[in-house]
Chain A
Amino acid sequence: MSNKDDAEIIKLILDGDQDSYRILVDKYSNMIFMHIFKICANREDAQEITQDSFVKAYFSLKKFKGKSSFSTWLYRIAYNTTISTLRKKKRLTFTEDIDKYISYSSNKKWSSNTNNEINEKIIDETHYKQIELAMLSLKIEDRFVLTAFYQEHKSIAEIAEISGQNLSNVKTRLHRSRKRLTEVIKNNR
């Protein structure tokens, strides 16, 4: 679906067709949920923040002027909701077992189970676990920048728009976050 489709759906919603919002939720909920989950590492929190973000977006839809894409605008709401929720909680609660969620990805990548592959899979999983744990030790803002740029392939301009920072700030933060992540992983080895 293109942005124009989103614009049409938004127009329908603003004209009073509340149920059309379901299309946007179906389209973007998984994307937003995964983005939040990667930052807060807690499934329940991520679900709650995703719900809150969509509810907030619905009631702020009048303010959406279409200057950016709807998804970028939604990301921005999700980003702000995540930051404020996590700051209120003051600490992260990791109910999600890190082993469990790393194995989700591995299951996708490995189809056959020869001995070599199983060994490689174990090494791979351990390594990914290290990276994810290192990511969790970074600041929320750093995690956001790394996740958005490297895992969600967002441009610097998009990240700047979502986080409300200027381009040079995002570049600097990206550079520093990368360094910090490398250092944390090095120290953990």
Chain B
Amino acid sequence: MDSNNNTLQNNEEVKLLNELQHSFELKLPDNFTDDIMKKISAKSALLSRVNPKIKTGLIILYFVLSICFSFLLVFLLKIIGLIDFDIVNWVSSTIESGYSSLNVSKNITTVNQFINSGFGATFNYLTSIFHNTFSSVLTLLSQTLTTVKIFTSQNSLFIMIILDIAILLFFYHLLITTNNKRISSR
């Protein structure tokens, strides 16, 4: 009985598939190719006009906006009393920690010496500042989340990393979308 049903089912399928092959045709408008070529020409002309400096500018703007947004967020959190944060202390401690982390710090006593100490030292300094900034931001945000008791201090660190990436991606998306709209509206 089962095998009969299967055979029936298979026969139906074969019939159906034969019928599926019966196709139909629609024609495109006569000027279709011309329309595509016009679109390509317009976009090519536009792309050739876009200055590479604008792209670089957009990337810089994206980073600046991201940093501004992070600061704004921190100030808002301070205003509503979720965190206790002193921006001046934070900047000075960041610079200080970067400076003191230099391996060659024993031989450097002035800023000029520091600048003249070469690429390796500068790189160390920047890395240190970046590390300090990043960990400060994470600590602050972690502190915030712990304060509002949404997350524990352990998992809030992970959540903050995700949030930070999301904020950066949001700005990136915003800039790219705005730029694309600007280009396509021309």
Residue numbers of A with Cβ under 8 A of B are 18-19, 21-22, 25-26, 29-30, 33-34, 37, 43, 47, 50-51, 54-55, 58-59, 101-102, 104-105, 108-109, 127-128, 131, 135, 146, 150-151, 178-179, 181-182, 185-186
Contacts and interface: CB of A to CB of B under 8 A. Distances in A.
A131 B16 contact: yes
Contacts of A182: 9, 12-13, 16
Interface stretch (B18-26, B54-62, B68-76, B150-158): B18-26
Contact of B26 (A34, A128, A185): A34
Contacts of A25: 32-33, 36-37
28 contacts: A18-B41, A21-B40, A25-B33, A25-B36, A25-B37, A26-B33, A30-B25, A30-B27, A34-B26, A47-B28, A51-B36, A58-B40, A101-B24, A101-B26, A102-B24, A105-B22, A105-B24, A109-B22, A131-B19, A135-B20, A150-B17, A150-B21, A151-B23, A178-B16, A178-B17, A179-B13, A182-B12, A182-B13
Nearest to A53: B36
B40 A18 contact: yes
A33 B32 CA distance: 11
Interface range on chain B (Cβ under 8 Å from partner):
20 to 34
B35 interface: yes
B37 A178 contact: no
B37 A33 contact: no
B39 interface: yes
Given A18-B41, A105-B22, A150-B21, 9 more contacts: A25-B33, A25-B36, A34-B23, A37-B26, A47-B32, A50-B28, A51-B36, A101-B26, A105-B24
A102 B22 CA distance: 10
Interface of B: 9, 12-13, 16-17, 19-29, 32-33, 35-37, 39-41, 43-44
A178 B43 contact: no
Nearest to B43: A55
B35 A51 contact: yes
A127 B33 contact: no
Contacts of B41: 18
Contacts of A146: 20
Given A34-B25, A182-B12, A59 B33 contact: no
Contacts of B26: 33-34, 37, 43, 101, 104
Contacts of A186: 12
Given A105-B22, A182-B13, A22 B32 contact: no
Contacts of A102: 24
Nearest to B33: A25
Nearest to A19: B37
B134 to A, nearest CB: 34
